[in-house]
Homo-oligomer: A and B are copies of this chain.
Amino acid sequence: MRASQIFIPTLKETPAEAELVSHQLLLRGGFIRRLASGLYTWMPLGLRVLRRVERVVREEMDRSGAQEVLMPVVQPAELWQESGRWEKYGPELLRLKDRHQRDFCLGPTHEEVITDLARREIHSYRQLPVNFYQIQTKFRDEIRPRFGLMRGREFIMKDAYSFHMDHASLEITYQGMYDAYQRTFTRLGLNFRAVEADNGAIGGKRSHEFHVLADSGEDAIVSCNHCDYAANMEKACSPAPAVEQEAWLEAEQVATPGIRSVNGQAKHLGIATRKIVKTVLVLAEDKPYLLLLRGDDSLNLIKAAHALQVEGLRMATPEEAEAATGAPVGFIGPKNLPGSLPVLADLRVLGLRNFSTGANMADLHWVNLNWERDLPRPDAADLREVTAGDACPHCQQGTLYIRRGIEVGHVFQLGQTYSEKMGLSVLDESGRDALVTMGCYGIGVSRVVAAAVEQHFDERGIIWPAALTPFDVGIVAIHARKSPEVAAAAQALHDRLEKAGYSVLLDDRDERPGVQFATMDLIGLPHRVVVSDKVLAQNVWEYRARRATENTLLSEAELMAHLAAGLSGAADQEQQKHQEQAHG
């Protein structure tokens, strides 16, 4: 295709609205345009990239045996009322009324619709297992849409939903989808990581997130430097150390005037922060809970919510903490706490000896407390965020490290949550009603485009992986309007390359070579071939890979061989890089 035939509105300046590199470069390269907050139009170049993502996703879904369907964007409220999410789902669910004042929403996800379809159409164990997927426009009314495609309001998802007679069948499909996701992201040329995630309140047994690794990622993901273990921060854990062996010292109260912080206490008392048990007051639906953590640990609120089996857990304000405990903030502690506040400790707190904590009176702390001797051993669960350097819970040999990731996929065992709420059961082999077990599987198709850019760019622009580039090869015809020979040779090369199966963008615009080169670099095509009077005189082509800094003069046979090797080689390299990372 000639550049004069495709609308590529590049920008010289970085738009002020764009913080993330992907947002900046996708705007500057003319891939997308903003219509309104969180709403983007895919321009011709961007849509080419999106379609390539869709194609790989579709091929791998089909290969996995999933069946493509297409459900409506607009969903009736009745189904969400049945599942209970009409109430629970916050303002991110965009609700609307039709002309008859009936309630609907724009689907942020399709569990309700597919479960409704399944209960109407699936009646026998003989119809199971089955796995439906769609690639479809979704809407989530983000309070502050930002980062371009990364967190837009309208976006494109691949979502799949599987139905099973039992958990064993779900496990097989789950693994099949996990493998399909591995193949998908590998084929897309992304450096990614599958990590264990928590199923949370919704039930089900297993879930994994797929993260594209990028410094700008919103999520922290945890990996072991020795084994395959990887998890997100809500799921990642580290073995609690053994109980300390030091001798019990005598407990006593020590004046700590105005000293409310852990660091302040450690300094004032001359002890390590880990020897301090800090208290954190949290609330779920106005019910308070007291959490205990080591002074050197941080609370993970999602872990706490799961451990307490509550939803919507939040930190208490100082006023709420004092009202719930009767003690001044900074001096709250588990010993002799007035009232009957539920207490939950992090597992590592149980291993402490001779620890310090607040005495529930202003300016007073306990030191040298010990469980059982001075206060009862509380219930405990994993509440802390892991930190880099923690021991691996899986192999016990490696240590954990933390990287940033962009979540682009999620596989999730739903179990029977929706089947129960919406009455999805089938007749089993013995003719009895049996609740159906479900899984769901998402890929953020439009987000993949942004994530790929976050991982593949330099100061000049985007560097598309071979599988995602809008065109395989860019041809720059130098002063083509003045040189009919250049114009003809560039067009002929374009035609030969397209015939050889490459998609080609021929820059035939009446622009200075510097502008042409800058455009090619900005839009990130992997291969660039320059056609000028000079190279024509030498009977060669001037080639440069997008990542290279030098030109190479190649005969056409060499160019063809180079492209063929480059495209397959690029894929191999990406795959190799991924595998190294996966075991790195």
How far in angstroms is the closest Cβ of chain B from A533? 25
Given contacts A7-B130, A35-B113, contact A41 B99 (CB under 8 A): no
**Could you list which residues of chain A lie within 8 angstroms of chain B, going by C-beta atoms?**
5-7, 9, 33, 35-36, 39-44, 47, 50, 65, 67-76, 91-92, 94, 96-99, 104, 106, 113, 116-117, 120-121, 127, 130, 132, 137, 139, 141, 143, 153-154
Q: Chain B residues near A99 (CB, 8 Å)?
A: 91-92, 94, 141, 143
Q: Are A76 and B117 in contact (CB under 8 A)?
A: no
Give Cα A154–Cα B121 distance, bound, in whole angstroms. Answer: 22
Q: Chain B residues near A139 (CB, 8 Å)?
A: 73-74
Q: Chain B residues near A153 (CB, 8 Å)?
A: 74, 98
**Which of B44, B94, B120, B130 makes the CB contact (< 8 A) with A98?**
B94
Q: Which 7 A-B pairs have the closest CB atoms?
A: A96-B96, A42-B70, A91-B99, A39-B72, A36-B76, A44-B67, A9-B121
How far in angstroms is the closest Cβ of chain B from A545? 28
Q: Are A69 and B43 in contact (CB under 8 A)?
A: yes
How far in angstroms is the closest Cβ of chain B from A63? 12
Q: Chain B residues near A35 (CB, 8 Å)?
A: 71-72, 75-76, 113, 116-117
How far in angstroms is the closest Cβ of chain B from A300? 28
Give Cα A97–Cα B97 distance, bound, in whole angstroms. Answer: 10
Q: Chain B residues near A143 (CB, 8 Å)?
A: 99
**Which of B39, B69, B72 makes the CB contact (< 8 A) with A74?**
B39
Q: Are A74 and B106 in contact (CB under 8 A)?
A: yes
Give Cα A252–Cα B285 distance, bound, in whole angstroms. Answer: 89
Name 20 interchain pairs, CB-CB below 8 A, sorted by A.
A6-B67, A33-B117, A35-B71, A35-B75, A35-B76, A35-B117, A36-B72, A39-B74, A40-B72, A41-B117, A42-B69, A44-B67, A47-B68, A72-B154, A74-B139, A74-B153, A91-B99, A96-B97, A99-B143, A137-B137
Q: Chain B residues near A92 (CB, 8 Å)?
A: 99
Known: A39-B75, A94-B96, A94-B98. 11 other contacts (CB 8 A): A33-B117, A35-B116, A35-B117, A42-B69, A43-B69, A44-B132, A47-B70, A73-B137, A74-B139, A92-B99, A98-B141
Give Cα A75–Cα B96 distance, bound, in whole angstroms. Answer: 14
Give Cα A153–Cα B72 distance, bound, in whole angstroms. Answer: 10
Most buried by B among A35, A76, A153: A35
Nearest residue in B to A66 (C-beta to C-beta)?
B44
Give Cα A547–Cα B70 distance, bound, in whole angstroms. Answer: 30
Nearest residue in B to A106 (C-beta to C-beta)?
B74
Q: Chain B residues near A44 (CB, 8 Å)?
A: 67-69, 132
Give Cα A9–Cα B121 distance, bound, in whole angstroms. Answer: 7
Give Cα A153–Cα B76 distance, bound, in whole angstroms. Answer: 13
Give Cα A132–Cα B8 distance, bound, in whole angstroms. Answer: 12
How far in angstroms is the closest Cβ of chain B from A124? 12
Q: Chain B residues near A141 (CB, 8 Å)?
A: 98-99
Given contacts A94-B96, A113-B35, contact A69 B40 (CB under 8 A): no
Q: Are B47 and A69 in contact (CB under 8 A)?
A: yes
Q: Chain B residues near A43 (CB, 8 Å)?
A: 69
Q: Chain B residues near A7 (CB, 8 Å)?
A: 67, 121, 127, 130, 132
Give Cα A72–Cα B153 distance, bound, in whole angstroms. Answer: 10
Nearest residue in B to A143 (C-beta to C-beta)?
B99
Q: Chain B residues near A130 (CB, 8 Å)?
A: 7
Give Cα A42–Cα B67 distance, bound, in whole angstroms. Answer: 11
Give Cα A132–Cα B132 distance, bound, in whole angstroms. Answer: 32
Given contacts A121-B9, A141-B98, contact A71 B36 (CB under 8 A): no
How far in angstroms is the closest Cβ of chain B from A320? 26
Nearest residue in B to A154 (C-beta to C-beta)?
B72
**Which of B67, B70, B127 makes the CB contact (< 8 A) with A41?**
B70
